[in-house]
Structure 1
């Protein structure tokens, strides 16, 4: 997309208007959704081993790549930055889902220079023009450079700019949804909002700003996931449950996930398929046991698969009557060797788990999370 004409500027009917002092963002030419290519099993295993051998890397990924923050349908690389950008803003109208919808509209979460460079020079997943980037860009990810191509830097700048615009919108006296006003300012420049006393009408710039605002607000529901799990108390179990609960709404991916966070999985001839195709190879997420492993890492280095996790913790069995948050629950189709599923006890008769292909990490009643007759045991790591 291109910029709109401004006094003394471009002529014609460009599709993405940029006003004086505006964000100078633009859409993409031929943008495509990022699809992570499938990894063959040996590569997945090697990556997992490398991650498990580095406490620093795993802990760093947890801090910087942590929770889902009530999001769904958002690439793992963007989740924690979106949540952090929202948390840094004191305006309640800004939400992770709104930021995610805006990023989708701008770039489809693209990060490659080939796909995320506009015809007018806007760059990166948040589509900043160089002049606007100089105002809002910061080295948020601490890699020594402030770059619109770095996800953390771009999303942090997007959040900071939207937060400022929301403040302007609420103090402006203009009627309407302050989110709409802020989005219009982000797209066309706050000068255009002042010019029209609100969101520019459909007659302005071929309806680009008008449609931009409507599309992002309408798309917010697509990215709104369940809220973070609230856990009272402290200790290893409660802390593990908090870590895992931050990823509610993340897809199940057979063989996916590691101590560093979600990843694509693989198919084994039986598992990981949806509609006859191997969905795990293109789905970034966790399976049941990788979620549990992630939850306790690195303070408790649990094995990767459910049966091995039971073996590693079976010397600390727990009765269902005295379960605590973070305890592990196992389901089996034939003794310890037949264990096929593991979940974290979430309190009040519920579990947090990654159920199966086609589902997402969520909280469900213990009595219906898996077949009751398959319930095998509970342990405390």
Structure 2
């Protein structure tokens, strides 16, 4: 448990709401645009969907399942909309993954741990989508039907596996006015736009590169104020100011890292750094590094004024980028050093 004094420096910034939005721009029905996404093979996805897509993909052993496939399918289903007004179909399908109640009863789970299994909750919906698609991919490969198993699975998601069996493949344009046929082809065609770079590739050996590799494997993990341990992500807490998202205590139901717990996790157990950013600076300040001599794994700090006011820490990732957990509502991601935090607040770097 963190003390009251420690809480004050656990890596979060209270910023105007306008600063928390803007990572994703939805340009009508044209394209979802996301800034540096931190890898993970995914781009162009609203930040609140990203960790759940990655989690759903990781849970499925079928190689045909990819984050970009799930993202493209969500785009086709709902354009990542989550309100009842925007994400309820004429047929009664609900939520961002468009589940009808009967199908939801089979695949829905309380994946986000909020006490309710709901097709309107992003985490619940996306992980249910992943479970259903994973099962359909298995059915597709066992069926002996020709064609891309992804296409067969998508057709089963849209029209039911019975329709795929009836046609021994993707139903033709003559079926249901071409809805299923067009659905399958649109999703497969859109996959490339959601394919992002892979996880950060780190060369070299030693404690710095090793720590960076360990942290990079957590790209896409949600930010959770006060969350994270040397063993991995954990739920955090709210302190009256920090940890809230849209008026709710996000940290208490979000398993993730804050900035300093990510750093602690990255270096543990080779180097057992303290828990909070200011103490991490104090433990490494005798090994200061100038900005023009940074190496992968170095720690960078931002402060409101002096070492006692350090509020954020990040890991240098090379090529002018940092890997960090920025704030509530975001995920562990790669960003340019110059824009990761306010440039005027940059305090210095150290080498653990």
Q: TM-score range by the shorter chain?
A: 0.5 to 0.7
**Structure 1 121/285 Cα, relative in aligned 2: closer, same or farther at 3 Å?**
closer
Matched, 1:288 2:259: yes
**Structure 1 119/273 Cα, relative in aligned 2: closer, same or farther at 3 Å?**
closer
Q: 1:255 aligns with which of 213, 222, 226?
A: 226
The count of aligned residue pairs is: 282
How much does 1:343 deviate? 0.3
What does residue 324 of structure 2 align with?
353
What does residue 154 of structure 2 align with?
183
Q: 2:250 aligns with which of 255, 275, 279?
A: 279
How much does 1:178 deviate? 5.3
Give the match's secondary structure for 1:242.
helix
**Structure 1 322/160 Cα, relative in aligned 2: closer, same or farther at 3 Å?**
farther
TM-score scaled by length of structure 2: 0.59
- Once the two structures are superposed, the pairs formed by residues 83-122 of structure 1 within 5 Å of their partners are 83=58, 85=60, 89=63, 94-98=65-69
How much does 1:330 deviate? 0.8
What does residue 326 of structure 1 align with?
297
What does residue 56 of structure 1 align with?
none
- Once the two structures are superposed, the pairs formed by residues 139-288 of structure 1 within 5 Å of their partners are 159=134, 162=137, 165=140, 172=146, 179-184=150-155, 193=164, 195-196=166-167, 198-200=169-171, 227-288=198-259
| Counterpart-to-counterpart distance in 2, 1:339 and 1:276 | 26
Instruction: Give unpaired runs (5+ residues) of structure 2.
Output: 7-38, 78-92, 96-100, 110-126
> 1:90-126, CA deviations, whole angstroms, 9 ceiling, x for partnerless residues?
x5xx4134358889x9999xxxxxxxx979995786x
Range 222-231 or range 256-265, more displaced: 222-231
How much does 1:69 deviate? 5.8
Check conservation: 1:69, 1:247, Cα contact below 8 A. no
**Structure 1 239/102 Cα, relative in aligned 2: closer, same or farther at 3 Å?**
farther
- Once the two structures are superposed, the pairs formed by residues 7-86 of structure 1 within 5 Å of their partners are 70=42, 73=48, 79=54, 82-83=57-58, 85=60
| Counterpart-to-counterpart distance in 1, 2:131 and 2:248 | 36
| Counterpart-to-counterpart distance in 1, 2:295 and 2:176 | 59
Range 261-270 or range 318-327, more displaced: 261-270
Matched, 1:377 2:348: yes
| Counterpart-to-counterpart distance in 2, 1:297 and 1:182 | 42
Check conservation: 2:285, 2:350, Cα contact below 8 A. yes
TM-score scaled by length of structure 1: 0.55
How much does 1:206 deviate? 11
| Counterpart-to-counterpart distance in 2, 1:295 and 1:107 | 40
Range 228-237 or range 179-188, more displaced: 179-188
